[in-house]
Chains A and B, each alone.
Chain A
Amino acid sequence: MIKILALAAPALAAAQPALAAAAAPVPNPGNNAWMMTSTVLVMLMILPGLALFYGGLTRSKNMLSMLTQIGATASLAMIIWVMWGFSLAFGDTAYPAPIGNYIAGGSYFLNGTDASSTAATFTEEVISKYVFISFQMTFAAITSALILGATAERMKFSAVMMFVPIWLTIVYFPIAHMVWFDGGDAGASGLLFEDGALDFAGGTVVHINAGVSGLVLAYLVGKRRGWPQEPMPPHSLVMTMIGTGLLWVGWFGFNAGSALEADGSAGLAMINTFVATAAGGLAWMVIEKMLGHKGSALGFCSGVISGLVAVTPAAGNSGPFGAILLGIISSAVCYYFVATVKAKLGYDDALDAFGIHGVGGIVGAIGTAVVYQSFLGGPAGEDAMGFGAQLWVQVFSVLVTIGWAGIGTFATGMLIKITIGLRVHEEDEVNGLDIAEHGERAYN
């Protein structure tokens, strides 16, 4: 039925030119094509990008468990997204404040969407709504998968599958709504959107959110058996490097795609995603050298991710040199966290989901207020709020995200802990999750 209507529409428009002028805006195929490309680039970041990045960092007995958890988590997030996730985050019905500051509704099971539906961009242009829904779907998928780095090598597969739907519903969808939902005249906008928080591609929604959630969940699951006395070196830094490369490439979809059009803003996000990342990767190795160690492959990969994470909120909100600065600072702060703070506090964030995504995300979100300013070559216009005000808005959005993610994850994690349990049996942990949970070995 929907298809027939869509096909009939152009024919009618041609027959009645007077009506065509008043017709709904039509997506520009160039923008649509770029957004479809961006969407599959973000998909590439998850499978196999993040899966290989994390997988290489585990011990070989837990490789498949990491890959499987990421694949299944992302898939589950996609199904939930079309059932109720999109509706809660970006649904057609904008509620009045205060509820409208936290969720939307009315688009359950994508009700009311067809191939001719469109979504607004940041200009007069529109893109196909199905493309927008798909693009945002990949963000929900990668955010839930990012958390699993913190709980690697000991969390039960069934617990992961129970965690993801509840966490998405009470944590991710409301935060995405708070940061990105523009209610227009129909109702309230998202809480932080209304405040003027700058988050171009998800520094708060994706990285701080996943990092803090990972930290809380890692605390609830407990340390890996033998950590930190027993050495747990990564089993394949080659895989980690391949994953890092795929993440960097995919991140162009993530950041430049967040412009929602193939325009100059996307171009700015693109060049920033190159240079901030390059600066981050080099900075980590320089820090290693300065501390008397060797510049390492894992150091390079870690610096690359720190740079990517920090430039995410700043992608279209910074000039290239502000982005380089951000990449270097993020790399240094993340290094300090994973090498020093983690050892002192003794939490087992196994693959540093918090140490890099959480910490880099915080550096990026707050740093965006700085690099946005025109004195650093940022795109802040005449009508932008002052530096101090912007800084406070950014700090506030970080605090709200940390609080919301922390409390929501704690509640979800506790619920699972007292029902089906979060952790595998000790014997299964020693034998490795690949055999114990999936009945396979990665390398035969």
Chain B
Amino acid sequence: MKFIIAVIKPFKLDEVREALSNIGIAGMTVSEVKGFGRQKGQTEIYRGAEYSTNMLPKVKLEIAASDDVAEKVVETIQQTANTEAIGDGKIFVLDLASATRIRTGESGETAL
């Protein structure tokens, strides 16, 4: 099993979610996060006083997937969240040691 963490532009969330549903991904965790990479920050101006904020809002997705679909998930996110501009985000893939469904106690891939 793989644990996939993707940081994407917030306005791409719905599109990515739909694309993942289409390839059979039935669940994910989404959080609003802040950070920076090559894109750096943005400038805010209040009555002429300029403040450059070095953090930008992003959305973080966390998805657990079986080994055989993990690659497809990464590919789907990479294609859907792409705007061909800096700040599109990153995808990380980790090995997942175990997964348990709390209600039934099932574990392994059946819990996903």
Contacts and interface: CB of A to CB of B under 8 A. Distances in A.
Contacts of B51: 231, 233
A57 to B, nearest CB: 8
Interface string B41-60: 00011111101010000000
A343 B48 contact: yes
A136 B44 CA distance: 40
A333 to B, nearest CB: 13
A339 interface: yes
Contacts of B46: 233-234, 296, 298
Nearest to A339: B48
Contacts of A299: 47
A302 B47 CA distance: 8
A419 interface: no
B47 A298 contact: yes
Interface in A289-345: 293-294, 296, 298-299, 302, 335, 338-340, 343
Interface size grouping (class) on chain B:
under 10
Contacts of B49: 228, 339, 343
Q: Dominant SS at the A interface?
A: helix
Of listed B44, B46, B47, residue having the most chain A CB within 10 A:
B47
Contacts of A298: 46-47
Interface residues of A, number: 18
Contacts of B45: 288, 293-294, 296
Contacts of B44: 233
Of listed B46, B48, B51, residue having the most chain A CB within 10 A:
B48
A352 interface: yes
The 3 A-B pairs with the shortest beta carbon distances in the complex, nearest first, are A339-B48, A231-B51, A338-B47
23 contacts: A228-B49, A231-B53, A233-B44, A233-B46, A233-B51, A288-B45, A293-B45, A294-B45, A296-B46, A298-B46, A298-B47, A299-B47, A302-B47, A335-B48, A338-B47, A338-B48, A339-B47, A339-B48, A339-B49, A340-B48, A343-B48, A343-B49, A352-B47
Interface of B: 44-49, 51, 53
Given A233-B44, A296-B45, A338-B48, 4 more contacts: A231-B51, A299-B47, A302-B47, A339-B48
